[in-house]
Structure 1
Amino acid sequence: MSVRGHIAAIRFGYGLRLGEAPPANPEAWLIEQLDRPAAPPEGLSLAEGIRLRMEDQAARRAGQETPRAANGRSALNDAVRNEGIAHAHRRLTTAQGFRERLVDFWMNHFTVSRRVGVIQPIIGAFERDAIRPHVTGRFADMVVAVARHPAMLVYLDNAGSIGPNSPTGQRRRRGLNENLAREVLELHTLSPAGGYTQEDVQAFARLLTGWSVEFTNPPVGFVYRTAAHEPGAKVILGRRFGDGEAEGEAALRFLAEHPATWRHLAVKLARHFVADDPPPAAVRALEAVLRETKGDLGATARALVRLPQAWDPPLAKFRAPADYVIAAARAIALPEDRADVIVSGMAALAQPLWTAPQPNGWPDTMAEWASPEGLMRRVDWAYNLAGRAPRADARAVAETALGPLGKGETATAMARAGSVRDALTLLFGSPEFMQR
């Protein structure tokens, strides 16, 4: 019985799906997912999402009925719902759980939230266009793609940031918005440990003026508005940058390849894949790979697989609600056409899809999720999910979900349960299933 095979599926992915066997060569199985990605998912394009949003807003302003889908629902709301179900379906059925976990890790690192209405129909495109293509590429390329994407430019208010001394600023008497510059420095690259100052934030914000969006006239998407750019040199962490869009990109790449950024990313990756309190040796190993490869995320992911601390002890990380819901759904082989159960489950357990409350994303430690109320919600949800598998072989589900990582006490309690539903609820409510 492969202990490491189950660890590979649980720690690096979302668990096995009922009927799947644990990999015979766990390390090679994980690395193959990096080397041979599955076909990229389809979904609502950026242009289509913007069009739906603009048509919906135009109808509301005119006091008319908003456009409808064939099923009679609002076309905009139906498209947003379908994007969420497609996201859940991919994680329910994927054979590349490690790659999908990396996508979700970087989506959380570069959080945008559909709490901002205009982002709702384009957040799926943000994942497909700015995150997914770069999860095994260069971190600097991901940073640039993220900063240019309308979802991020709108979410962090840079679309309306105008240089006070630019032609547009002089005419409109409007000024800087520092949100994007601040979060790139604080969350996306250096972290506060990088030693940047408020002067650096302001200089970077001036450099990013003009980075905006076009939602009305084609081609929609990112646009650089020269007339809104603040003129003059800007100095960021001692590096001098001139005017123009290219200089803004140069600054992003400079920050993405800063030594403080390597350290920040190494800590976050180790916290996610190894332990809430990352072992210093694991952090040093990941930091060295990032530094030596200048941010090769594929090489860094391979280094994660080679970390001894990522395998021992097993089940060292508490599952966040999204992880918990997906793992349970996979373990019972939830039918593919019911991926909506995953979306509703995430919301029921206080981690609604793409709706993080702040730009720093969802928390990644046990202390933030393991409250008594949160645990009770999990058991209630697990009972409802178990009701969808009344004829399941509970022992087969337990073998899929945990294998040799399951505890004898849990197996005994399941064997004594009065029904399959009760047995599965005990499994999903067990301490070991709560961990990964």
Structure 2
Amino acid sequence: MAARHDAVLAPRFGLGPRLGDDPSRPRDIPAAIERDIARGRALPPGAETLPTSAAALAQNGEFQPEERRLAAQKEREAAEKAAADAIEAARRAGQRPPPGYQPPAARIFREEAAFRIRTAVEAELGFTERLVWFWSNHFCVAVAKGEQLRLTAGAFEREAIRPHVHGSFRAMLKAVEQHPAMLLYLDNRQSVGPSSRAGQRRGRGLNENLARELLELHTLGVDGGYSQVDVTSLARAITGWTVPGRFDEDAEMGAFFFNANRHEPGAKTVLGRTYPDAGLAQGEAILDDLARHPATARHIATKLARHFIADDPPADLVARLAKVFRDTDGNLPALYRVLVAASPAYPEPRKLRPPLDFAVAALRMTGRPVDPGQVLFVTQLLGQPIWNPPGPNGFPDTDAQWATPDGLKVRLETAMTFARQTPGAANPLAILDATLGPACSANTRQAVARAESRAQGLAILLMSPEVQRR
């Protein structure tokens, strides 16, 4: 029973077995989860080498002093010319050309993605990484918005999401809504109170994008009982939450800044409660109340249960999670512990791994060196490009998104390509025994054993229920 329990908990809360772990040794998955929780705000190795959001935005001309912008433009033009000359010289010499010039936004995005992928592949269980991805999708930004988001999407996850996944929802909410990436993605940088000093002087107006998604997606949910009046009032309360550039007031360029000149003056009423004019503190007080709202508790409980248990989450489990959310003031580890304790009641894996989970699980299982470019290509091909959801509601967290006929066909083709590219010495039965071990079904073992080639056997293993389901 313990082995069966482990076989359910490990894929449900982790990222799949790692080659080199002993599958025959019983693992205490709840203890591994507690170890992840105990690490708290600790950042994985490599995070310290990545730029802050402000430093990343400093690569963008809009967030540089004019003299630095002109110097950077000359540096870029010189680098582009040097790269083009090197490629031409290699071509003339009949040699393989070196990589071309990579713009700062593309380079930073790739470095951030590589950090994200390697951290997941190397994780003991992967529970924290699953949570980082879950919350990053809940509070999503999209690099398709432009260069500013390509520069900051990774920093957003490291600075606003990762430090709070084992903390409080309220702290994460504040960090998210005040992060430059979110303010840029949902256009709050352009939002100016109509009656503020800046609004009267420049004739600029309100932008409601962040306020609407904050209510509909980040906290209460679409059926959370708010109205358009609440959206507008909240949008007025968070005017002045901005990201300074070179034409803004004296503030740190690229970092969160409260601009009192753009803040709409006066009291604001949201969900029936009136908040006195208090500048930055007014919007923060509204966030605090939204984080504690019963509709928020229900919304977050539903999404967590859907992610970890089933597309149609059990109503009693959702109710239990919502109660714990309310009773603990949004303490997230308390919710995770409820999910772990309840998991034996739902013994069968019901969820199909999304593309990134699948790619990481394949790397963990085979022990292949991490090639971030390959993972970026695979996730793009399978419809889940990293940090680029189709809208502010993120990627859907249901099988219907991934289990389409075309999606499964491409997934199979991807598994075959991955298997063919894995070194020929890789024995799929040996990999099966070294990773799944007793958790593997007789049907899967037989199918892998009967494969016509090692590559085909490995592809069958990667497409098996034990790998595809979590």
- Measured against the shorter chain, the TM-score band is over 0.9
Residue aligning to 2:175: 145
Instruction: Calculate the aligned-residue CA RMSD, in Å.
Output: 2.3
Distance 1:105 1:384, change over 3 A: same
Give yes or no for the alignment of 1:29 onto 2:32: yes
Q: Would the aligned equivalents of 2:18 and 2:367 in 1 still touch at CA under 8 Å?
A: yes
- How do 1:26-425 and structure 2 match up within 5 A? 26-37=29-40, 39-40=43-44, 41-42=47-48, 43-54=50-61, 58=69, 65-66=76-77, 68=79, 72-117=101-146, 118-216=148-246, 219-220=252-253, 221-243=255-277, 244-308=279-343, 312-336=346-370, 338-387=371-420, 388-399=422-433, 402-425=436-459
Q: Would the aligned equivalents of 1:92 and 1:339 in 2 still touch at CA under 8 Å?
A: no
Shift of 1:51: 1.2
Partners in 1 of 2:71 and 2:397 — Cα distance?
Answer: 39
Q: What is the letter of the counterpart of residue 340 of structure 1?
A: G
Q: Would the aligned equivalents of 1:189 and 1:264 in 2 still touch at CA under 8 Å?
A: yes
Q: What is the letter of the counterpart of residue 355 of structure 1?
A: N
Distance 1:435 1:222, change over 3 A: same
Shift of 1:45: 1.5
Greater mean deviation of Cα atoms: 202-211 or 83-92: 83-92
Unmatched runs of 5 consecutive residues or more in structure 2: 84-98
How does the TM-score come out when normalised to structure 2?
Answer: 0.87
Partners in 2 of 1:46 and 1:308 — Cα distance?
Answer: 38
Partners in 2 of 1:207 and 1:56 — Cα distance?
Answer: 25
Partners in 2 of 1:6 and 1:335 — Cα distance?
Answer: 26
Partners in 2 of 1:399 and 1:183 — Cα distance?
Answer: 47
Partners in 1 of 2:71 and 2:437 — Cα distance?
Answer: 54
Task: Give SS of 1:329's match.
Answer: helix
Partners in 2 of 1:400 and 1:180 — Cα distance?
Answer: 48
Q: Would the aligned equivalents of 1:317 and 1:435 in 2 still touch at CA under 8 Å?
A: yes
Q: Would the aligned equivalents of 1:44 and 1:121 in 2 still touch at CA under 8 Å?
A: no
How does the TM-score come out when normalised to structure 1?
Answer: 0.94
Partners in 2 of 1:24 and 1:137 — Cα distance?
Answer: 25
- Residues 104-137 of structure 1 show CA distances to partners (whole Å, capped at 9, x for unaligned) of 1100010011111111111111111111111111
Distance 1:62 1:27, change over 3 A: closer
Structure whose alpha-carbon radius of gyration is higher? 2
Shift of 1:19: 1.1
Task: Give SS of 2:144's match.
Answer: coil
Greater mean deviation of Cα atoms: 66-75 or 297-306: 66-75
Distance 1:29 1:3, change over 3 A: same
Shift of 1:343: 2.1
Shift of 1:282: 1.3
Distance 1:136 1:32, change over 3 A: same
- Residues 234-288 of structure 1 show CA distances to partners (whole Å, capped at 9, x for unaligned) of 1001111122101100101110110110011000000000000001121122112
Q: What is the letter of the counterpart of residue 240 of structure 1?
A: T
Q: Give the length in aligned residue pairs.
A: 434
Partners in 1 of 2:376 and 2:27 — Cα distance?
Answer: 32
Greater mean deviation of Cα atoms: 137-146 or 208-217: 208-217
Unmatched runs of 5 consecutive residues or more in structure 1: none
Distance 1:187 1:403, change over 3 A: farther
Residue identity over aligned pairs, in percent, reads: 44
